[in-house]
Chain A
């Protein structure tokens, strides 16, 4: 029971941290639709390594729902869930393959997150030309994933000693 409560508290805290990061991120604009730094992904990479994909999925979905309720719309919910599901699936598979470090896993997550969002944007608007932005988003996703992967790896390492 004690462990369960502790875990629940950790998940809640992670969800809050991810929400703050999405809020911060909403102020960073590159003038390209969908291009985001993916700051909340730091929390997801950390959770994926610390607890596992189920807990990460729960926090990630809750984060999408709550941020959409607070700062967005139903449409932005579909948009962010598509990105989150796709990136989490790819990150889980890559982590399981045990061939990449946290950095590689996070880069793949960053790119697929953008790809998922583009796919939804095309599905919603019916304008295929939006795929025009995919190369920019892929470069952005790779660089952002790199930074976030390095930061995530540091957090994972530091918090390893802390018993949470």
Chain B
């Protein structure tokens, strides 16, 4: 293998890992337990629910349905009509900034802090 290219490869790997780990560290340090989840459908706010109360909600959109379960302070997508099912396979979330995303149904569930920040620009 070309030594010069190998060096360039290594620099690329180092830079990529350093930058992404640094970003990751910033995100991880600024993490805090969220207090509520904001549900959006088609980019618009649909509802917000506190993480402190257990509940089960069916999010109905023109594209399908998603079942959102809030239990023990965590939000989780337990069922959905979307064809890929990626949202259901995501792990449950409870820290501010984390979100459950269902692209086919255009549904997102994002955890926000207690100050009730408006997540839609």
Query: Judging by beta carbons under 8 Å apart, are B106 and A100 in contact?
Result: no
Number of interface residues of B (CB under 8 A): 44
What is the bound-complex CA distance between A73 and B97, given in angstroms? 27
Number of interface residues of A (CB under 8 A): 37
With a cutoff of 8 Å between Cβ atoms, the chain A residues found around residue B42 in the complex are 126
User: Beta-carbon contacts of A81-114 to B below 8 Å, as 1s and 0s?
Assistant: 0000000000000000001110110011001000
Q: Which of A2-10, A29-37, A47-55 lies at the interface?
A: A29-37
Query: Judging by beta carbons under 8 Å apart, are A127 and B99 in contact?
Result: yes
Query: Judging by beta carbons under 8 Å apart, are A129 and B97 in contact?
Result: yes
Q: Is the interface of B mostly helix, strand, loop or mixed?
A: mixed
With a cutoff of 8 Å between Cβ atoms, the chain A residues found around residue B9 in the complex are 100-101, 103-104, 107
Chain A positions near chain B (C-beta within 8 angstroms): 26, 29, 31-34, 71-73, 75-76, 79, 99-101, 103-104, 107-108, 111, 121, 124-130, 132, 134-136, 138-139, 141-142, 146
What are 14 residue pairs bridging A and B, where the CB atoms are less than 8 Å apart in the complex? Answer: A29-B89, A31-B90, A33-B100, A72-B84, A76-B83, A76-B84, A101-B2, A104-B13, A121-B103, A127-B99, A130-B101, A130-B108, A138-B19, A138-B23
Chain B positions near chain A (C-beta within 8 angstroms): 1-2, 4-6, 8-9, 12-13, 16-17, 19-21, 23-24, 26-27, 40, 42-44, 82-84, 86-87, 89-91, 97-101, 103-104, 106-108, 110, 119-121
